[in-house]
Structure 1
């Protein structure tokens, strides 16, 4: 009897353990379905832009170089200063050039005096010939001397003009209204002819250049604004930090032929720069509108790529998921444009697609 009393409790324990195992399996089966957020495609009436690398240049940008050799005597402006056309910016020591100008002026005066002397002699000889005191040969000789003296006067004037030009070039002036760049040489520096001192830019309006392919050019040519190779299209400028420039520009075709190596052609867009935000040589991107109207979008979190193809997981009616390819257009913010392969009625897994597989049963919840 003692033996039976031991066996019965053990059998009860076995039955109890079996019962717990069944309940645990049932609970696990109930919670096996993974919870995933689902959304529909986003449909918006919007304008799609295509972006191009931009080359930003000032309307005018020139280097200021010394035309003469000499010491940089004075610097009248600071780096980054706004200057006016004709304003003196730098002064090269002019003592040597003043001396050359004075010497040339003296030489001119001597040449003029010599020419006057010969002219008087010419008049005197003419009267003597009329009185048959001297021969006509003497008159011809003095006429030749007079022409030679006039040539010397002209030569002396040219030398003086050259000396005055060099003297004027000792004052380096602003060629137009603009802003001074960094000054590379300081007061007292020895300048060689052609030495770069700084550069000046007219930043009131900036030209932004970008290249498009021949196929893109032909697409733009189908625009109603394109007529007789005259094209004007409003575009946006995106700055290096991703922000949009507050003013729009107008793009125009500025080249008459395609680059043979790249098959591209350049367009130029002009942007106002009254606040001086844009600088010569800055970088950015041009956004050109390529389509307008109702467009389908899918969030980037729902999209994944396999071998250069884009996919999403769509939810079937039986709450299983299926991997579906689609043709993605360009990216706009956090969304991809859906060009083909998906429709507005499909439910798409919003995020967490890494652990999913075809046919997996899930518990869908609407994305808030």
Structure 2
């Protein structure tokens, strides 16, 4: 008789009669009642869009501050207004996810340094106020020069510069806190990527902010935006490559399925945008096309990272196998 967990051995016994060979079927990674081991993120694609608009706001604020200090008014205006528009969009996506604005306000009742969510709320609030002030200052030339409005018109440029510099100081945290936030979850593909995701998001933010400058400013003033866009694209491509290939099994969700398609598209768009930015230093049309490609690549990167996290939470093997490997290495 063959034991239930054994199969008949062909050709008799092996190794001098050491017993039947045990044939173990390949492991199937299942959980109770077919449920995933960890709970999938409850966030919708509104949060993925929030990742993109937050990065765009941060990158644009950096471009605007640099343009202000180097006396490039058209690039400064483009950066400030893009940052404001991105902040408004971010607020919308955040409120849609939370359900009602009061929930965001409630998070401001506490400042908890160990909580990425709490710190992110304060960073977002401070950045929004500073970027908003800088954007409002762009209205100064259109205000009357007499009376109370005249006083405001004279004070706004100084206030706008202060707000722009404050927004630029907060921009690195604004660009990367969402990466820290998702890395702090139990979602396998996000948690494993915690050393690299902030660099992915930072590069994406720089590329998108520079891209907005390439689209909105004349080529004569777009030099800093061009440099920032190319540097951001290089950082984004390098960091994303690490996420896709240097995390063992947990890199797989970034290369397969919907996430893989999005990240491959992002790679092509970002690389094409960076090349176009370099070649379009004398062409407004080429610069604008390069900027559009960089913006699309940045959005695809954020969506790809979001989809990879969801896919890794839904498949139990991405939780079980790494845990077994860690236990086996002890």
TM-score range, shorter chain: under 0.3
The structure in which a higher percent of residues are strand is 1
Task: State the TM-score, normalized to the length of structure 2.
Answer: 0.24
Q: TM-score, normalised by structure 1?
A: 0.23
Larger helix proportion of the pair: 2
